[in-house]
């Protein structure tokens, strides 16, 4: 039995996007599984009716004529797929007389030309799809699943986010340790060079011949101060670079996204602790002092 759609259904289908229109049309036809891999016939059948319907809408057919086009294309698809091409042409000719009266002189040749360009051009393909059963190929693969020999190992497993966080955190700590060792070696070499230069400068001072003038003594004092100050400057530079690198690694650890399962991250306390005042202990009063005070108070009272 050929499909008949109402004008309201046709209007709804034409106003929807292509995929949604096909789904709505399939719902009206009570068809499921429009995916081509699961049911190729339903997919091609829905596409065929939808294409004919939208062609009539785009060419300006009336809604009644659009409904007639859907009924006509459904009838020729169902009744001519089991025939040869010549018989299909003869069947199409017989069915087209009634359609010509419904479409009129303008729309009938437009639609028949569309049928020849689409359905009849691919007639053998339509016939093969709707008359030959498709071989369903379902691959069967045997997979061997090996369970862990020790189930207790799974209890100590970690979520992927926690494992990734700990890996990045350990990587930062490893880099920090490497930089610390390199920094110690560089600091030792720098201080060693500064001390060597200081010894050389002090050695030249010891070779100065006497007697010394006032200006020469001032130069020697400046040399001694410069030799010791150079070592102090190098130590300060090393300490500053050490503090900067420590802050950079600390910032890298705190800015690392921490998984919620690990709880809140540890915070660094930057405020110094305020010292608490210890109360002063008052020495206990000796009994001798108490006696002297009491005796003095009695003598005052007698004098009065």
Phi, psi (degrees; rounded to nearest 5) at 92: -65, -35
Q: Give which of 100, 87, 3, 89 is closest to 53, Cα–Cα.
A: 3
Instruction: Please say whether the beta carbons of 169 and 253 come within 8 A.
Output: yes
Task: Evaluate the omega torsion of the peptide bond into residue 76 and state whether it is cis, within 30 degrees of 0.
Answer: no
Q: Strand, coil or helix: what is 280?
A: coil
Structure tokens that stand for 279 in this block: 């109360």
Q: How far, in Å, are 180, 189, 194, 221, 222 from residue 198 at the CA level? A: 27, 14, 6, 13, 12
Confidence of residue 295 (pLDDT cuts 50, 70, 90): low
Residues in Cβ contact with 249 at an 8 Å cutoff, skipping those fewer than 6 apart: 172, 175, 176, 179
Closest CA to 91 of 108, 107, 75: 75
Q: Roughly what angle, to the nearest 10 degrees, separates helices 40-58 and 123-131?
A: 140
Measured between alpha carbons, how far is 303 from 262 in angstroms, rounded to an integer? 84
pLDDT of residue 245: 80
CA-to-CA distance for 115 and 124, rounded, in angstroms? 14
Q: Could you tell me the CA-to-CA distances from 134 to 15, 36, 39, 137 in Å, in that order? A: 34, 12, 9, 9
* Model confidence pLDDT, tens digit, residues 67-107: 888 888 888 888 877 788 888 888 788 878 888 888 888 88
Residue with tokens 């007389």: 97
- Digit-coded pLDDT (tens) for 192-218: 776 776 666 666 655 555 666 667 666
pLDDT digits (tens, 9 = 90+) for 56-67: 898 888 898 888
- In tens, the pLDDT along 243-290 reads 888 888 788 877 778 777 777 766 655 455 555 555 555 555 555 555
Q: What is the pLDDT of residue 216?
A: 61
Checking if the pLDDT of 17 tops 60, the result is yes
């Amino acid at each position: 039995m050929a499909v008949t759609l109402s004008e309201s259904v046709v209007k709804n289908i034409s106003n929807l996007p292509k995929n949604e229109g096909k789904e709505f049309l399939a719902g009206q036809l009570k068809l499921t599984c429009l995916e081509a891999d699961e049911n190729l016939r339903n997919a091609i059948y829905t596409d065929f009716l939808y294409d004919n319907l939208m062609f009539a809408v785009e060419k300006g057919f009336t809604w009644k004529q659009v409904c007639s086009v859907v009924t006509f294309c459904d009838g020729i698809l169902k009744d001519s797929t089991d025939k040869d091409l010549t018989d299909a042409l003869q069947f199409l000719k017989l069915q087209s007389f009634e359609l010509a009266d419904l479409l009129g002189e303008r729309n009938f040749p437009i639609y028949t030309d569309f049928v020849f360009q689409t359905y009849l051009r691919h007639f053998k393909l339509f016939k093969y799809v709707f008359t030959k059963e498709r071989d369903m190929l379902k691959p069967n693969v045997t997979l061997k699943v090996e369970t862990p020999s020790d189930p207790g190992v799974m209890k100590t497993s970690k979520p992927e986010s926690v494992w990734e966080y700990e890996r990045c955190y350990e990587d930062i700590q490893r880099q920090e340790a490497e930089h610390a060792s390199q920094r110690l070696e560089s600091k030792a070499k720098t201080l060693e060079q500064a001390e060597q230069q200081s010894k050389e400068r002090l050695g030249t001072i010891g070779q100065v011949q006497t007697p010394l003038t006032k200006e020469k003594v001032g130069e020697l004092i400046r040399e001694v101060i410069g030799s010791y100050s150079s070592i102090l400057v190098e130590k300060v530079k090393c300490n500053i670079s050490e503090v900067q690198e420590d802050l950079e690694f600390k910032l890298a650890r705190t800015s690392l996204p921490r998984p919620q399962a690990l709880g809140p991250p540890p915070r660094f306390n930057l405020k110094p602790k305020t010292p608490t005042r210890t109360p002063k202990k008052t020495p206990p009063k000796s009994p001798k002092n108490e006696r002297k005070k009491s005796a003095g108070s009695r003598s005052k009272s007698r004098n009065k």
